[in-house]
Chain A
Amino acid sequence: MEAFIRVENLCKTFYSKNGQVEAVKDISFEIGKGDIFGIIGLSGAGKSTLVRCLNLLEKPSSGKIYVGGRSLTDLSERELRGARRNIGMIFQHFNLLMQRNVIDNVCFPLEIAGVKRSVARKRAMELLETVGLAEKAKAYPAQLSGGQKQRVAIARVLAANPEILLCDEATSALDPQTTKSILALLKEINQKYGITIVVITHEMAVVQEICSHVAVLEHGRLEETGTVEELFRSPRTEAAKRLVLKGSAHIKAMEGSRRIRVTFSGHSAFEPIIGNITLEYGTPVNILYADTKTINGNAEGEMILQLPSSEEIADKMVQYLKDKNLGVEEVEDYVG
């Protein structure tokens, strides 16, 4: 598939009196049209810098960014302003204009684009309906809850009819319940308007809830990219493993025990696998942790098993699980 957003060899270095910081190191990836693309990493990983490079709020030190085949880094100031109207952005702290009421906030991008006031207000009202805040049109941001503010920000960003929506930790300041409803709204927008969404987050749960693809960032480097299912089933890099396992159990390292993480999708969960291996090898395994997660609407299960101390039996068990097409990986020194 033709990539809609293409990032090539992106680098961003900040210079300060205390030396230089390489926030983004030679990153390349592609995002397809209509995808919900997650960029996950711990704080300080360079996610925010990376997403700010996508609409050139930060000027990359080197590298290229293409949107719809057009190179953003080669645009003039004026052309860039035009291009930015096509790339909406929402923020962790909402960034609404505090001295304007809700409807005037939603009208703001339309004012910038020079849309007639009456037309702008009509469109703003429709969008407030979409985000479920029509009755708050005359309220001021200070009178709204966090979730409501983010809904206003989403309505505001939609006003300009963008093809891309960048979300910079958009749910990090919200409680779990509100996070869920905002994520549902983003998903709805993605499906209704076909907007490509880039989600920056430090929470695996957010990625699992709405993203189709994901990129793992650590220390300014892109560690791995792929679909969310791939990442969940078989994280390849250490950074990815840490993020995937962070959502799981808090297991203290146990001496002399070999532990594996087994993942299975909904339809392979019919066979009583644990019971079968126990019977097959005559030795019990210890289930340390088990959970089912919904990833892109599919049930995905994971378990962390403690294998018998006999190397020979343990190896056989691993092979047995692999033969059953389950995701199996060793868990080393994992302390949650």
Chain B
Amino acid sequence: MLDKTTILMLLEGTGATLYMTLVSTLFGYVLGLPMGVVLAVTDREGIRPNKAVYKVLDFITNVIRSVPFLILLILVIPLTKAIVGKSYGSSATIVPLVIAAAPFIARMVESSLKEVDKGVVEAAQSMGAGVFTIIWKVLLAEARTSLLVGVTIAVGTILGYSAMAGTVGGGGLGDIAVRYGYYRYQSDIMIVTIVILVVLVQILQGLGMMLSKKLDRRAK
């Protein structure tokens, strides 16, 4: 069953899945982190409340998050084509993955930053710290453990989404599972891909949690 070509294919699939997941997480944060920061800062209880900005961002994140990923995948095909040049394969999948992940990441960042003790923010304000100093040195720095837990959750979720993209030619392990397990009734290969996915999630989750714990200075 597991001949050389199959193993090679599975390895390639694992590589493609990791590539999609990690690159999408990275770009997801490039978009989602600033969004989350702006949401936390402009909130009514934030350091620079701004109803209009908050409402607009709040609305956008909610709308995108309400669209099922599979639908989003198809909806953004024109955009994907414009950016990547084609609508199938691992690189193409990154576009909808980023669009789906960014608002989700923004929400997690927002909630992490809101967990930061208001008193510490107040102390920084009393020292004459400006908005950017507070964001950088107080909010993001104090929330780093919670932010890292968020990254771990984001990676796991995006990995799941990437497997879903396999059904429409997205490449990676999900693609293999669908092609072999569903269309060719080779459930053994499907099971192997699932095992690999489970192991991947376990490793990424464990790594993320270890890192966030290691960097937490609160409990000793």
Contacts and interface: CB of A to CB of B under 8 A. Distances in A.
Contacts of B126: 55, 57, 84, 87-89, 166
B120 A96 contact: yes
Contacts of B142: 97-99
B138 interface: yes
A81 B128 contact: yes
Range of interface residues on B (Cβ < 8 Å)? 20 to 34
Interface string A92-113: 0101111111000000110111
A143 interface: yes
A91 interface: yes
A55 B128 CA distance: 10
Interface in B82-127: 117, 119-120, 122-127
Contacts of A97: 120, 138, 141-142
Interface stretch (B19-27, B30-38, B129-137, B182-190): B129-137
Interface SS, B side: helix
A143 B220 contact: yes
Given A142-B219, A143-B220, A95 B122 contact: yes
B217 A101 contact: yes
B144 interface: yes
Given A89-B123, A95-B120, A112 B217 contact: no
A55 B138 CA distance: 20
A247 interface: no
A140 interface: yes
Nearest to A90: B123
A260 to B, nearest CB: 45
Contacts of A109: 127-128
Nearest to A83: B128
Contacts of A99: 141-142, 144-145, 216-218
Contacts of A87: 126
A80 B129 CA distance: 10
B147 to A, nearest CB: 11
Nearest to B145: A99
A85 B220 contact: no
A140 B122 CA distance: 20
A16 B123 CA distance: 25
A103 to B, nearest CB: 13
Contacts of A88: 126-127
A335 B163 CA distance: 73
A279 B127 CA distance: 63
Contacts of B130: 81
Given A57-B125, A81-B130, A84-B126, A95 B119 contact: yes
A112 B124 CA distance: 9
B27 to A, nearest CB: 27
Nearest to B130: A81
Contacts of B216: 99
B122 A108 contact: no
Given A85-B128, A97-B142, A100-B141, A142 B123 contact: no
Contacts of A108: 124, 127, 137
A326 B127 CA distance: 46
A141 B120 CA distance: 13
Given A95-B119, A95-B120, A100 B128 contact: no
Q: Choose among B126, B133, B141, B145 the residue with the greatest number of A CB atoms under 10 Å from its CB.
A: B126
Interface string A123-136: 00000000000000
A63 interface: no
Interface string B187-220: 0000000000000000000000000000011111
Given A91-B119, A91-B123, A112 B133 contact: yes
A58 to B, nearest CB: 10
B127 A142 contact: no
Interface string B155-175: 000000000000000000000
Contacts of B145: 99
Contacts of A96: 120, 123
Given A96-B120, A99-B141, A99-B216, 14 more contacts: A57-B122, A84-B127, A85-B127, A91-B122, A95-B117, A98-B142, A99-B144, A108-B137, A109-B127, A112-B133, A142-B220, A143-B220, A153-B123, A160-B127
Interface of B: 117, 119-120, 122-130, 133, 137-138, 141-142, 144-145, 216-220
20 contacts: A57-B125, A81-B130, A84-B125, A84-B127, A85-B127, A88-B126, A89-B123, A91-B119, A91-B122, A91-B123, A93-B119, A98-B217, A99-B141, A100-B217, A108-B137, A109-B128, A111-B133, A111-B137, A112-B124, A142-B218
Q: Which 6 A-B pairs have the closest CB atoms?
A: A84-B128, A95-B123, A89-B126, A95-B119, A81-B128, A85-B128
